[in-house]
Amino acid sequence: MVRHRWCELVVKHKYAQAYGDVEHFLIHDQAMGVYLYGELMVQEDSRQQALARHCLSLVQNEMDQSARRVVEEMVL
């Protein structure tokens, strides 16, 4: 998916101007977002980690239970 790849590039290059695109993707494409949460956390960038935690807080009650568990282990 093109939007997923775009978000990967945003995270990899710490392109802060497009963090809104990442947030939108994590909120609206939850099933495909699990990998992206991992990418946000592995970068060890406090702003990206905060973005991951923020997005999880917005959608955790709507997420598939198994996906939520995986993301919570990475993020929390």
Say how far apart CA 57 and CA 39 lie, in whole Å: 17
Q: How many CB atoms lie within 10 A of CB 2?
A: 6
Per-residue tens of pLDDT for the chain, all 76 residues: 799 999 999 999 999 999 999 999 999 988 788 999 999 999 889 999 999 999 999 999 999 999 999 999 999 8
- The pLDDT score that the predictor gives to residue 31 is 77
- Domain ranges, ordered by start, for the chain: 2-75
Residue 7 in tokens = 């978000």
Contact between 68 and 55 under an 8 Å Cβ cutoff? The reply is no
- The pLDDT score that the predictor gives to residue 1 is 79
- The pLDDT score that the predictor gives to residue 9 is 97
Report DSSP state, residue 62: T
Residue 25 in tokens = 């993707």
- The pLDDT score that the predictor gives to residue 13 is 96
